[in-house]
Amino acid sequence: MDYGKRLKRLRESKNLSQQELADRLQLNRSTYARYELNQTQPDLETLRKIADFYDVSVDYIIERTNNKNPEKKPEGRFFYDLDHASQEDLDELENYFQYMQERKKKRDNQDK
């Protein structure tokens, strides 16, 4: 995957057209379209605007990580109780995460 596809996925996840997003970010639509097509790269200020708009890190946009927002910590009872989970529960959870990773790989391969 490339950063253009990642930008397109983020935009589509919000059900926005390129024009709608460009308007919200105060960009020219054709400029934004070139980002999605990998014909040009956004400058740092624009990258920050895009990252802030989607609540993701710049590193996520430029594919240095697959973690959308590494600064956010998991919240809720599930993560709190993980320390007290039985070994059986931990094994099931690990199996589930492996399943989710395989699903993601399949989706990523379909996008290519």
SS (H, E, C) 51-83: HHHHCCCHHHHCCCCCCCCCCCCCCCHHHHHHH
Between 24 and 2, the higher pLDDT residue: 24
**Each residue's pLDDT tens digit, 13-22:** 999 999 999 9
Residue 45: pLDDT over 90: yes
| Residue 96 confidence class, pLDDT cut points 50, 70, 90 | confident
Q: What is the pTM of this model?
A: 0.61
pLDDT for 77: 47
| pLDDT tens-digit map of 35-44 | 999 999 999 9
Asked whether the predicted pLDDT for residue 111 surpasses 80, the reply is no
What confidence tens digit (pLDDT) does each residue in 48-82 have? Answer: 999 999 999 999 899 888 878 776 655 554 555 56
d(CA 97, CA 29): 38
Structure token pair of residue 95:
């199996």
Tens-digit pLDDT profile for residues 4-14:
999 999 999 99
3-state secondary structure of 31: helix
Residues belonging to the chain: 112
